[in-house]
Amino acid sequence: MAGLYDEILENHRRKIEEALPSYLPPADGGARQNTVYEAMRYACMDGGKRLRPVLVMEFCRLCGGSPARALPFACAVEMIHAYSLVHDDLPCMDDSPLRRGKPSVHAAFGEDMALLAGDGLLTRAFEVMLAAENREGLPAEGVLSAAFALADAAGAGGMVGGQVIDLQSEGKAVDLPTLEALQLGKTAALITAACEMGCRIGDGSPQQLEAACRFGRELGLCFQIVDDLLDVTSTPEMLGKPVGGDQTNEKATYVSLLGTEKAAALAAERTRGAVEALAAFGEEASSLRALAQALLRRTS
């Protein structure tokens, strides 16, 4: 993860890390339902790389908008990402007791509280984007279309749908179009929405919007191919988690379908596509060009 962000993106990441707690329910412990507030905070403050919100901020900047104005929308995307991990880890889904080496939310707070913390985070994302004080001075159409993009990407036609295809694919022979549909939903939809939201808040042109969405889609799909590659080529020390899990679980991956070499070539092709899309933003997009290259070369 080291070297993923240059100074501009690292600056966005710091701002997000600072702002995120302020968009979550109060931490003063005063509410009767304080436990779920704690669980929501626990789920969000897990030291992830904040890729999605960083993309919101940077595309807003590239479109000429103020990244600070995009902060509530950036934090909303991160809440949606966090909720999806909480629900994925539940016993009826992946049944994961750990997340990034810490107890997962249901392991720490109980299954019922994890379910409700996920529901609370998903709902909170929309509260934050739609609250009058967070959208002051922004054009209403930008706010509406940004919030719609997130709902559309997170829902049954996007991220939730990708989860469903994943569940249905377990232990079955899966072809490449199905794997692509699965990953488009599970990973690429939310990353693409983040790029779109930045453009919507930054009032980008239709050309910029189209380029940002292409970048998000290519980056999102590449991200998953690299994950699949790392599962077979990395070591537990480098990855910070066990490797070879996909094969053990007989999971269809880009590597199992294409082999290591072709999967690596596809990842490189996706990265080229992502970088090409950035041409619409000219020289200013160098941070994102470097990010795409760093995500391709990452070792964890």
* Interacting residues with a copy of itself (CB under 8 A): 25, 31-33, 35-37, 40, 87, 90-93, 111-113, 115-120, 122-124, 126-127, 130-132, 135, 140-141, 143-145, 147-148, 151-152, 154-157, 160-165, 167-168, 178, 181, 185
For residue 77, report the phi and psi dihedrals to the nearest 5 degrees: -60, -40
Cβ at position 153, least distance to a copy of itself in Å = 9
Nearer to a copy of itself, 206 or 282 (CB): 206
Nearer to a copy of itself, 116 or 212 (CB): 116
Nearer to a copy of itself, 129 or 274 (CB): 129
Cβ at position 144, least distance to a copy of itself in Å = 6
DSSP character for 24? S
Cβ at position 234, least distance to a copy of itself in Å = 29
Nearer to a copy of itself, 62 or 76 (CB): 76
Cβ at position 66, least distance to a copy of itself in Å = 20
Which residues lie below 8 Å from residue 60, measured CB to CB, with a gap of 6+? Answer: 66, 67, 69, 70, 198, 199, 201, 202
Cβ at position 276, least distance to a copy of itself in Å = 29
Question: For strand 102-103 and strand 98-99, is the pairing parallel, antiparallel, or unpaired?
Answer: antiparallel
Cβ at position 206, least distance to a copy of itself in Å = 14
Give the residue from 55, 39, 222, 219 showing the smallest Cα distance to 120: 39
Give the C-alpha distances (Å, rounded to integers) separating 21 from 28, 51, 79. 12, 17, 11
Nearer to a copy of itself, 41 or 272 (CB): 41
Report the sign of the C-alpha dihedral through residues 183, 269, 51, 282, in that order.
Answer: negative
Beta bridge partners of 99: 102
Q: Return the SS3 of 98.
A: strand
Cα gap 120→61, rounded to integer Å: 30
The amino acid sitting at 224 is Q
Nearer to a copy of itself, 130 or 257 (CB): 130
